[in-house]
Amino acid sequence: MVEMAALKEQLTYAYQFPLYRKLWDAAQFCPNDIQDWNDWTHIPLLTRNDILTTIRDNPPYGGFWFDGPKRLHITPFPGLGTIPVLASMEDVQRSIARETEVFRRAGFTRDDVVQVTFGYAPFYTGMHFHLVAEAVGAVVVPAGPGNAEQQAHWIAELGVTALITNPSFALKIGPLLPNNHRVRLIYAGGEPLSAVEGFRERLRSAFGGPGVTIIDSYGISEVGMMATECQAERGLHVYSNAIVTEILDPETGKSVPQGQPGELVVTQVKQEGFPLVRFRTSDLTRLVSDNCACGETVTLPKGILGRIDEVRKVKGVKLYPSQIAVVLAEFPEVSPRNYRVRLWAEGGTDHMELTIQSSTSHINEERLKERMRSELLIAPNRVCVETLLADGMQIIDERGKGAF
């Protein structure tokens, strides 16, 4: 658990940068106002739009330049194309040391040959995982992204035992491997895994079955890695010494009860470069507190459930449309990225039509409704199938503003 004293020090540090100076002054908040956790919610929430503004006002580094050796990486950023993110070399070392322990609990050893399929440049994910796996003592094959055939060739030829990859790419590689491949561990990141029912077992099967450990993880490029499973595969452990997590209602900004879905808001406990305080991740998740055999606490049992996009209240329940993609991913015959939601009022109650894309019309509609009821607490009244839909979700709300 994080000491309040350390956090107050971090708040004072952050206050020197124009981003926080402007945001906090406008809200008449001062780091000295914080005495204990009861005051925590007085700290203004930070959005991607605030970062966009500070970078426009203080180019090119958003005012986050600081003395001393630093590492820079590029991250895609809505509205600006890409932005640079700075970390001090101490930040980098701290994050590698933290993750080295996490990798050990996930099952990595010095005898592993680890293939990394994330990009190394201009994004930093691949290089970070490369350095962490080396810190464990493993040998790393720096494959980089793309080319499943070439990746499968290296896995087979070089005796690769562990993969660090996004799970949907791993699903493409698995079938290309010979039966005697040696992969026994997959560290998955970059997209929902635990949240998609059956995804983990599909991935395990693609690599030959029960002997393969599948580890889910969560990080974003503005912050770095924040949570990972251990070998028990029971849910993600948040790096609670490095990150303060809150789950808020994205509309009200108020905390939601434990176990309820909401937007993940994070604060870095100690970070010299680009320090983030109460940063709204736009990611949707559920926070719990559950003991794990490894001695840590499971806090994100299903990882990330989707993105906070245009949240709608439907039949009195908050609908996070992107969570539909997570449910659709359970149905191999359906494209999880293409869907449309139409909402209308009829007989005094909300109605919902879900249109999905599939090349077959034989969709198990009842199972889809059941899974949506279970995961989103809302089932559509009607499911339509089309052979071609535009990419990405689309919401057509015909209820009028009164419905909100």
Give the footprint of a copy of itself on this chain (CB under 8 A): 59-61, 69-74, 81-82, 84, 86, 89, 110, 116, 119-122, 124, 126-127, 130, 134, 137, 139-144, 153-154, 157-159
Count CB-CB contacts under 10 A for residue 68.
9
Q: Are 87 and 268 in contact (CB under 8 A)?
A: no
Distance CA 56, CA 63 (A): 10
Residue with smaller CB distance to a copy of itself, 144 or 301: 144
Strand 312-314 relative to strand 317-319, pairing: antiparallel
* Smallest separation, CB 124 to a copy of itself (Å): 7
Nearer to a copy of itself, 19 or 141 (CB): 141
Contact (CB, 8 A) for 224 and 128: yes
Query: What span, in angstroms and rounded, lies between the C-alpha atoms of 125 and 330?
Result: 27
H or E element at residue 75: strand 70-77
Where helices occur in 208-267 by DSSP H, the ranges are: none
CA distances to 203, 257, 313 from 262, in Å: 27, 9, 13
* In the complex, least distance from residue 62 CB atom to a copy of itself, rounded to whole angstroms: 12
The smaller minimum CB distance to a copy of itself, of residues 53 and 335, is found at: 53
C-alpha gyration radius of the chain: 22
> CB-wise, 134 or 197, nearer to a copy of itself?
134
CB of 48 to a copy of itself, least distance (A): 18
Q: Name which of 14 and 136 has its Cβ closer to a copy of itself.
A: 136
Strands 113-116 and 162-165: parallel
State how far the Cα of 167 lies from the Cα of 118, in Å rounded to an integer.
11
CB of 284 to a copy of itself, least distance (A): 30
115 vs 299 by CB, closer to a copy of itself: 115
Which one, of 218, 237, 196, lies nearest residue 375 by Cα?
196
Q: Are 7 and 267 in contact (CB under 8 A)?
A: yes
- The vertex-34 CA angle with 29 and 38, nearest 5°, equals 110
Residue among 130 and 340 whose Cβ is closer to a copy of itself: 130
Compute the half-sphere exposure of residue 174: CA atoms within 13 Å on the CB side of its CA.
Answer: 20
Which CB sits closer to a copy of itself, 110 or 367? 110
The minimum distance between CB 220 and a copy of itself, in angstroms, equals 18
The phi-psi region of residue 225 (left if phi > 0; otherwise alpha if psi is between -120 and 50; otherwise beta) is beta
To the nearest whole angstrom, how small is the minimum distance from the Cβ of residue 158 to a copy of itself?
5
Q: How far is the CB of 177 from a copy of itself (least distance, A)?
A: 15
Please report which residue ranges of 240-322 form alpha helices under DSSP H. none
Minimum distance, C-beta of residue 324 to a copy of itself, in the bound complex (Å) = 33
61 or 199: CB nearest a copy of itself: 61
CA 115 to chain centroid: 21
β strands within 108-200, DSSP E: 113-116, 139-141, 162-165, 185-188
Question: Nearest distance from residue 362's CB to a copy of itself, in Å?
Answer: 42
- Residue 51 Cβ vs a copy of itself, minimum distance, rounded to whole Å: 15
Q: Is residue 122 reached through a cis peptide bond, with omega within 30 degrees of 0 on the bond before it? A: yes
* Residue closer to a copy of itself (CB basis): 70 or 340: 70
